[in-house]
Amino acid sequence: MIAYLGRYTHRVAISNNRIIDADGGVVVFSWKDYSDGNRQKVMRVTPVEFIRRFLMHVLPKGFRKIRHYGILASRDKLARISLCKKLTQTVFSVTKVAMTPLERLRKMLGADFDICPCCGIGHLARGSPDNAIA
């Protein structure tokens, strides 16, 4: 079970290289003791205790694993980025240009998605399924 879970531990609770051994009813892994000068230590626990500790790091449904904080936090993000650019004397524009999703794709990829992919001449019409030709 530990070997199976080990393949899925990347950036969750423990990296694969920290699991030293999982044999004979004992899981052995390394950990960093911050209260003892950041020294690397080894801990031996039962598989049930290891899984209990591992599951404490699994996020509940609806939570995000990666969150933005600091200057990239959502609240007042534009004001903080503007301040950063002002302090670094970076020229910038605060105005946002409203673009449709199709315009964004065209700008990012440089492709015209209104052109028919079959003939390359006609323009595609986007509409509701009621307008579709049977």
Reported as a pLDDT band with limits 50, 70 and 90, residue 76 is: confident
pLDDT digit string, tens, across residues 14-72:
877 889 998 889 999 999 998 999 999 999 999 999 989 888 887 788 776 665 666 66
Predicted confidence at residue 134, as pLDDT, reads 46
The label of the residue with tokens 């673009």 reads 99
Q: What is the pLDDT of residue 75?
A: 77
Closest alpha carbon to 78 in 66, 89, 92: 92
Give the angle 98-100-105 at the CA atoms, nearest 5°. Answer: 115
| Strand ranges across the sheet with 26-33 | 19-23, 26-33, 39-45
Contact 76, 84 (CB under 8 A): no
User: Tens of pLDDT along 85-116?
Assistant: 888 888 766 566 788 887 887 888 877 777 77
Specify whether the CB–CB gap between 41 and 31 falls below 8 A.
yes
Torsion sign over Cα 88, 91, 94, 96:
negative
Please tell me what DSSP assigns to residue 94: -
pTM above 0.75, yes or no: no
